[in-house]
Amino acid sequence: MSAISIRHLTKVYPIPMRRERVTAVRNLTLDVQPGQVYGLLGPNGSGKSTTMKIVLGLVSPSAGSTHIFGRDSREVESREDVGFLPENPYFYKFLTGEETLHFYGKICGLAGDRLRRRASELLNLVGLEDARNRRLGGYSKGMLQRIGLAQALIQDPRLLVLDEPTAGVDPAGSREIRDLILDFKKRGITVLLCSHLLSQVQEICDRIGILHKGVLVREGSLTDLISIDNQTELVLENASPDLLSQIHSLAAQSGAKILSEHKPQTTLERYFLEVTSQKN
Amino acid sequence: MPSPTKHIFFSPARIWAIATNTLLELFRLKVFYFLLIFAIFLIGSSAFMIEFTFQEQFQLLKDVSLGAMSIFTWLLAVLTTAMLLPKDIEDRTLYTILAKPVPRLEYLIGKLLGILFMLFIATLLMSAIFVLALYGRQQYVLAETLRTSVGMPPDQLAATLREVHNSTFTVSLIPGIAIIYIVAAIFASLTLFISTFASSMVFTIMVSIAVYLIGLLQGIARDYWLGNVTTGVLPRIFLAFVALIFPDLQLFNVVDDIVAGNSISFILFAKTAALGGLYTFIYLLVAYFAFASKEL
C-alpha cells in the first residue's frame, strides 16, 4: 500500500466575475512509498501547494483521487497518521512552546502523562527545551519552524508533509532540520517534502517529482534522474595526474586503487532549470 | 515505524481542547479589560441619581446597568467572534488544526463554545459589578432614610426600610440577566456563521449590526403591516420569512419588566431560553454547511 497515492488529480479554480478558470493541477498521478523521502518540486505557481492541500483534505479535487495509506484524503480519519508543517507557519502567539504542543496533542487524542512526556520529548528533539515556557510571539523564525516540526510529530505520524521546512532558517538550523528529516527516514516515517532549496533536496530525497504549470514533467528516483548517461566517473586513490588519460591500465600498473566507478551527476539545481526552461 | 491510529468519530475531548484554547486566547487578548469601561460607566451614572426618590434611583440603576450589559455582551459577542475565524485563516493556524484529524464541525463547535464560556464569565463579572453598585446604592439609601427619619414612628420607619430592601434585589433579575446572555449567544453563533463566508471582518460586523437592527425593529414593522388589512400576500410571506430568519429581539426584551419590578414566569423564561437556544443551534448548523465546503 502506498503512503500517498494520487490518481489523475486535477484541480481547477474558477475566477470570480470572469469566465476564465485556472487549472492548478492537471491529471497528476504519482505514488509515495512508505519510508521514502519524496521531494515535490516546481517553480512558484506550479501546483505543489494545491497538491499538498488536496492530499491533506484542505481542498477538494475537481477530478481524481488522493489516498493516504489507503484512506481517502477527504475523510477526516486519513489525517490520523499525518503531520503537516505549512510554509511560514504561524501558530497561536499567545501560547508557550509547551502549551502549543499540548494543544495539538489534545486535538490528536493524546492526554495526561502520555501527552506531557511526548511534548517534553519533542521539545528536546527540536532543541527548544529552554524555550518551552516562552510565548511563541517571542520566537525567532528558526524556533517557529522547529516548534512547527514538533507539532507535526506530536501524534507520532506515519507520514510527514513539510512545506519549505527550512525557509528563512539559518544554515545551522537548516542543517539540524535536514538531520532530523534523515532521522525520520531511518525510523520509517514517510516524508513528502516541498522545497526550493534544491541542494538540500538532493541530499535527503529518494525520489522527486517536478511539477510545472500543474503538470508532472519528471518523476523518478533522484539518482536515475540526475545521472548523465553517456559518461562514466572513476574515483582513484593515490593516482598521479599522468594516469588520468589511460585510467584503467595505468591505475593497475602504478598501484593506484579505483575506489568507485559510477555515472557522474549534474546538480539537481541545473537539471531542474534545464527541464523547466525546456517546458517554457 | 509508527503503527496506524484508530480514529474517534466524534470527540468531546477535541472540542473541549479547542474551546479552552479559544477562551485562553480571548483571555490573553485582554478582552476582559473592557469591563473596566462598564464599571466606570456604572459608577459615573450613579453620581447623577442623587436627585431622585429611592425607587426611581433603583429603577434607573437597573435600567442603565441592564441596558449597558445588553449592549456590552452583544458587542463582545460580535467583535470577538468576528475576528476568530479570519485570524486563524490568515495566520494559517487553521491549516495545522484541520490537517490533524479534526472534523470541521468540531472545530466550529469548539470555537463557539469558547466564546460562550467567555461571554458567561463576562456576564458574571458584569452582574457582580451591577450587584455591588445596587448594594452600594441600597446602603446609601438606607443610611439616608435613617438620617432623615428622626421623629418617624417605628412602624413607618420599618415599612420604609422594608420597601427599600424589596425595591433593590428582585427575583426577576436572575432570569433577566440570563436572557441577556442568551441574546449574546445568538449573535455569537450568527457572527460565526457570517465569518465562514465573509471576505473581511468589517463585513461580518456590519452584517451582524444589520441583523441586530432588523431584530429590534421587525416586531414594530410586523405589527404595523399585519395590522393593515390592505397588506398583500407577498409582503406577509416576506414578513414571515424575516421572522423566521432573524431573531425578534422584542421577544427577548425583559429589561422593562425587571425595571418595573414585575416577575418573569418560569414558563416564559423557559420558552425564551429555548427559542434562543434554537436560534444559536440553527446558526451553528448553517455555519457548518457554509464552512464544510470552504476551500482553504
Please check the confidence at residue B187 and state whether its pLDDT lies above 90.
yes
Q: What is the pLDDT of residue A237?
A: 64
Shared-domain flag, residues A180 and A139: yes
B37 or A123: which leads in pLDDT: A123
Is residue B69 within 8 A of residue A45, CB to CB? The reply is: no
Cβ–Cβ < 8 Å for A37, A193: yes
pLDDT higher for A208 or B242?
Answer: A208
Q: Is residue A17 pLDDT above 80, yes or no?
A: no
A122 and A35 in a common domain:
yes
Q: Which of A183, A188, A148 is nearest to A164 (CA)?
A: A148
Do A223 and A113 belong together in one domain? yes
- Closest-CA distance of chain B to residue A148, Å: 9
Give the orientation angle of helix A171-186 with respect to helix A141-153, to 10 degrees: 10
Looking at the fold, whether A210 and A259 belong to one and the same domain comes out as no
Phi and psi of A101, rounded to 5°? -65, -35
Q: A19 and A112 share a domain?
A: yes
Query: With b meaning 16 or more CB within 10 Å and e meaning fewer, what string describes B189-209?
Result: bbbbbbbbebeebeebbebbe
A56/B contact by beta carbon, under 8 A: yes
Q: Cβ–Cβ of B7/A76 closer than 8 Å?
A: yes
pLDDT band at A261; cut points 50, 70, 90: low
Q: A45 vs B78, which has greater pLDDT?
A: B78
Domain boundaries, chain B: 12-292
Helix (H/G/I), strand (E/B), else coil: A231: coil
Pairing of the two strands A190-194 and A37-41: parallel
Are A215 and A27 spatial neighbours (Cβ–Cβ below 8 Å)? yes
- Nearest-by-Cβ selection for B17 from A34, A56, A107: A107
Chain segment B19-62, per-residue pLDDT in tens: 999 999 998 888 777 777 887 777 777 666 666 777 778 888 88
Question: Which residue in the set A53, A92, A155 is minimally distant from B5, CB to CB?
Answer: A155
Query: Could you identify the residue written with the cell 466550529?
Result: B108
- For residues B104 and B290, is the Cβ–Cβ distance under 8 A? no
The CATH number that applies at residue A202 is 3.40.50.300
Distance CA A183, CA A113 (A): 25
- Mean of all residue pLDDT scores within chain A: 86
The mean of the pLDDT values for chain B is 86
Q: What is the tally of structural domains in chain A? A: 2
Chain A CB contacts of B93 under 8 Å are: 90-92
Q: Judging by beta carbons within 10 Å of its beta carbon (0-12, 13-18, 19+), is residue B223 exposed, middle or buried?
A: exposed
Question: Which of A166-180, A184-198, B117-131 has the least mean pLDDT?
Answer: A166-180
Residue B7 has pLDDT above 80, yes or no: no
Write out the three cell numbers for B26: 480571548
Of B51 and B151, the one with more pLDDT: B151
pTM for the full predicted model: 0.85
Q: Has residue A232 got a pLDDT over 60?
A: no
Residue A184 contacts residue A85 (beta carbons within 8 Å): no
Band the pLDDT of B183: cuts 50, 70, 90.
Answer: very high
Query: The complex's ipTM?
Result: 0.86
* Distance (Å, whole) CA B52 – CA B44: 16
Residues A136, A236, single domain; the answer is no
Owning domain of residue A89: 4-227+265-279
Residues of chain B with Cβ-Cβ distance to A88 below 8 Å are 92
Angle, in degrees to the nearest 10, between helices B12-28 and B54-90: 110
Q: Are both A157 and A257 inside the same structural domain?
A: no
* Amino acid B107: pLDDT: 96
Cβ–Cβ contacts within 10 Å for residue A91, how many? 24
CA–CA dist B247, B272 (Å, integer): 11
In Å, how far are B80, B117, B181, B183 from B279, measured between CA atoms? 19, 18, 13, 10
User: DSSP readout, A141-176?
Assistant: HHHHHHHHHHHHHTT--SEEEEESTTTT--HHHHHH
Give a three-class secondary structure readout of B170-184.
CCCHHHHHHHHHHHH
Cβ proximity of B283 and B189 under 8 Å? yes
- Closest residue of B to A158, CA-based? B2
